[in-house]
Structure 1
Amino acid sequence: MYTLLETSKESLFKKYLRIFFVVAAYWIISITTVFVNKELFSGTKVKLNATLFVTWFQCVVSTFICVSATFMSQKFPRAFRINLPEAKPFHWETIKRVIPLSILFTMMISSNNLCLKFVSVAFYYVGRSLTTIFNVILTYIFLRERQSAKSIVCCLVIIAGFLLGVDQESLTETFSLVGTIFGIIGSFSLSMYSIYTKKTLPHVNGEVWLLSYYNNLYSCFLFLPLILINGEFNTVLNYEYIGKLWFWCAMLIGGFCGFLIGYVTTLQIKVTSPLTHNISGTAKACAQTVMATSWYHEVKSFLWWTSNLVVLLGSFSYARVKQLEMAKKHRVEQNTQKL
């Protein structure tokens, strides 16, 4: 009995230790990715005005990593257990079912990166804080799922924080209306992407890794006309550092970070829950904002910080309300089954 109890405690300790390291990895990789991308998109050293090209290159790197990992898992199955089961990216049935999600994926990452290009890292979270609002709206439109009064109040708090943040950011030199608009588009596309992911996953047998491979591969093609229309091919060809090794090393680091953030995001959801992931992401954004203001030596007003606090409180409150509602719904279903 004593041995079983000790074994149970040890197992529980390992579980929480794993969760701690996964959440810590998510925080580190996510914050690092934001700072790396900010330097690539609008840094003083890189100076490459081709955000879509950089994003496209990151998709190429992610696709290459997925394919390489699959090849290695086939050659060395004991060392590499990652696999892409029945990957048929150029099969018409696969394209037909996955390409709508890939279009949203392309829209999401491009708008998020364009937002990051124009706004400061400190304002990046607030600029993209309307994701919860769009989730509520789109869930009602597509699923006819109504929200409780408490949830709506939390959404209004988030909107108030967003509007206050935009108002205060507009008083600073780093404000960008274009970047703020891209932030809103990014929030919308992320919400749409989340909804369509649930619809698309069954078509790939629930394999997140396989879906990530398809999205990145298709985005490599979807970005090409956007890059052409935006005139970025000429920008890249005439770029003064195009032949420099350090530039391509920076691009590879950005691509690797882009791949890692997708992986650790999925891993965090797997070892915790979607709700815990949202809470972790919100807390991470708070730390990221504080770090950004310190790193870039930005001085913000009291109301600017208040707007961030309002958005954070609204987001945390919404997550808590949904958690309690889900628990209540689960208890009701259990009692119904017993009857």
Structure 2
Amino acid sequence: MSTDKDEKFLPAPAAMRSPPQHPVSLIISAIAFYWVASLSVVFLNKTILSGSEYKFSYPLFVTLFQFIVALVLLVVCGHLGKRNRMLSMIPPFEFDQDIARKVAPLSIVYVLMLTLNNLCLQLVEVTFYQVARSLSIFFNIFFTYTMLRQKTSPGAMLACAVVVLGFFVGSYGETNFSWPGLWAGVGSSVFVALYGIYVKKTLQVVDNNQWRLLHYNTAISIVLLTPLVLLSGEVSEIWENVYFLDDMGFWFLMTVTGVAGFLINTAMFLQIKYTTALTNTISGTAKSCVQTLLAMVFYQNPITATNGFGIFLSLLGSGLYSGVRYAEMQQRK
């Protein structure tokens, strides 16, 4: 994200300065890119894990492969960024052991977050995915208080209560309910909340450069996840049971999924850079609504009235929570 030292302002009192105005076309492009990347990640992961002819039900291996693709892209883009202005925001790859040790706790959280997320996608319908992972707001409030000793406003607590109610209502009404999928979603929500906290703590280690952090985080995640994949027995099961390992279409789909995972980081960076916090929040909530509707169309997932009401409540609560937090940010400014 851009900083004051990266931009030139005419001398003026701080109170008179206003944020730079970006062209509407650029803002729309950033939002559209985020939507395409985010929706692609969800639907491609669902497709590769359980929604295609392959049904490659090995979430640990899929996550590891995506990390490897992301690291290759980071290294290549970092090298090209030396000569290409469009990629200059991505620094050359680096790996310092002292920095890596400080980033390692974040990487542990990151690995668990993405692995449980992929497991949740494998086990539940995409229409229920949003509900299963909606408790990240609840855990964010919980960890903010227990770890940072920061209290949450009554308005944000009320919005969180709507999300929790939506979680229980949506779970009760889900037709293709899965306890393992639900717990994977809850676990993913836990680590999503922890990840946000650890990112804030760890960014200072890499001079607040999110791309440097992504370099370390991705490389360490590969080191952490590789032994887990081997110990889990997934590799031997894949070798013995998967008959399409020589199918180029399968590896193309796996690679595209990894590229989409890499692009979501770029898309989030651009949306934050070129839009306001409120626009960013509205975009995320609207994207979740469209994601649920697209899942209904593409996968023909049956939705009961109770399940639909639960999905509505979880999305409504998420939107209210984001709105309350944005209003609080504006008041502090």
TM-score (structure 2 length as normaliser): 0.89
For 2:81 and 2:294, the matched residues in 1 are separated by 38
Q: Does the Cα contact within 8 Å between 1:88 and 1:94 map onto a contact in 2?
A: no
Q: What CA distance in whole angstroms lies between the structure 2 residues aligned with 1:234 and 1:62?
A: 24
Matched, 1:329 2:332: yes
Aligned to 2:160: 155
CA distance in 1, matches of 2:87, 2:290: 34
| Corresponding residue pairs, total | 313
What residue in structure 2 maps to residue 24 of structure 1? 32
- Say whether residues 1:279 and 2:282 are aligned partners: yes
Bigger drift between 110-119 and 209-218 goes to 209-218
- Range with greater deviation from structure 2 (178-187 or 293-302): 293-302
Report what 1:288 is aligned to.
Answer: 291
Contact 1:158–1:310, Cα closer than 8 Å, also in 2: yes
Structure 2 residue runs without a partner (length 5+): 1-19
**1:237 matches 2:239:** yes
> 1:59 — aligned with what?
67
Decide whether aligned partners of structure 1 residues 78 and 135 sit closer, same or farther in structure 2, where only a CA change above 3 A counts.
closer
Cα deviation 1:172-207 (Å, max 9, x = unaligned): 1x2211011010111110110100101111111111
In the alignment, which residue of structure 1 is the partner of 2:226? 224
Distance change in 2, residues 1:28/1:80 (3 Å): closer
% of aligned pairs identical? 36
The structure number with the bigger radius of gyration is 1
Instruction: State the Cα deviation string for residues 244-274 of structure 1 (Å, max 9, x = none).
Output: 1111111111111110112212221222245
- Identify if the C-alpha distance between structure 1 residues 242 and 149 changes in structure 2 by more than 3 Å, giving closer, same or farther: same
Distance 1:47 1:299, change over 3 A: closer
Query: Given residue 237 of structure 2, which amino acid in structure 1 is its aligned partner?
Result: T
CA contact (8 A) 1:128 1:183 kept: yes
CA distance in 2, matches of 1:273, 1:149: 24
Unpaired runs of 5+ residues, structure 1, are 1-10, 331-339
Question: Aligned with 2:56: secondary structure?
Answer: coil
Corresponding residue SS for 2:23: helix
Residue type of the partner of 1:198?
A: K
Cα shift readout 1:51-85 (whole Å, capped 9, x = no counterpart) = 110110010000000001112223x3456424425
Q: Give the distance between the partners of 2:215 and 2:91, measured in 1 at CA.
A: 8
For 1:5, the equivalent position in structure 2 comes to none
> Residue type of the partner of 1:201?
L
> 2 CA distance for matches of 1:321 and 1:253?
37
Decide whether the 8 Å contact of 1:69 with 1:82 is kept in 2.
no
Q: Distance in 2 between matches of 1:225 and 1:318?
A: 39
Alignment correspondent of 2:8: none
